[in-house]
Structure 1
Amino acid sequence: MTQVHTARFAIGQIVRHRDDAFRGVVMDVDPAYHGPAIDTGAVSPHQPFYRVFALGEDGGFVAYAAEAVLEDGQSVLLPDDAQRWFTVDAQGHHAPLHEAIH
């Protein structure tokens, strides 16, 4: 029997890494890990993974993160970051300036 996972975060939602490695906006969701084999048991591949446009000290970058390491980050995106890096639709979803919201 195949286990179905429901994504906790939506495209356009602001998230942060639980270890404060980054904060950013969800750009895409995979129902399970789609990358090279994971050798450690620290992160299970059987959970949603997210492509996040993340903000770092030197600008933006794309991160691929497991749901287990992400938290709701609504309160951590600074207004200056929002205006500098993102467009916002009528529902409050964010997207990188040069990528459309799905």
Structure 2
Amino acid sequence: MTQIHTTRFSLGQVVRHRDDAFRGVVIDVDAGYAGAVGETGDVSPEQPFYRVFAIGDAGGFVAYAAEAVLEDDADQLTVADEQRWFTIDAKGHHAPLDMRLH
């Protein structure tokens, strides 16, 4: 039986990796993830995972991260990053310029 977990982050929400590996926007949620433990060994597979459109020095990339390693990003994104990479709806949700949130 597959368990479905409640997610802490929503589509379009700005998050950052707890080790500051990246900052970005949630573009997909895998709430029923049941895979293996992460590389560090401290990530339980019994939690939601997220696809995050992240911003790096060389441009944007997609990261797949466990909920336990993500945090709400109170600092948000710079105005320059928002204008370069995202559209923002009336509720403040971000979406990559070339992707639609579903």
Q: How many residues align?
A: 101
The residue number in structure 1 matching 2:37 is 38
Deviation for aligned residue 1:42 = 1.5
The verdict on how the C-alpha distance between 1:34 and 1:79 changes in structure 2, with shifts beyond 3 A counting, is farther
Residues of 2 paired with 1:100 and 1:19: CA distance? 28
TM-score, normalised by the number of residues in structure 2: 0.88
Deviation for aligned residue 1:34 = 5.8
Residues of 2 paired with 1:72 and 1:24: CA distance? 10
Asked if 1:7 corresponds to 2:19, the answer is no
Give the 5 Å matches for 1:49-88: 49-88=49-88
Residues of 1 paired with 2:52 and 2:85: CA distance? 13
Q: Name the SS of the counterpart of 1:46 in structure 2.
A: coil
Residues of 2 paired with 1:39 and 1:73: CA distance? 22
TM-score, normalised by the number of residues in structure 1: 0.88
Give the conservation status (yes or no) of the 8 Å contact 1:47–1:67: yes
**Identity %, equivalent residues:** 69
Q: Name the SS of the counterpart of 1:11 in structure 2.
A: coil
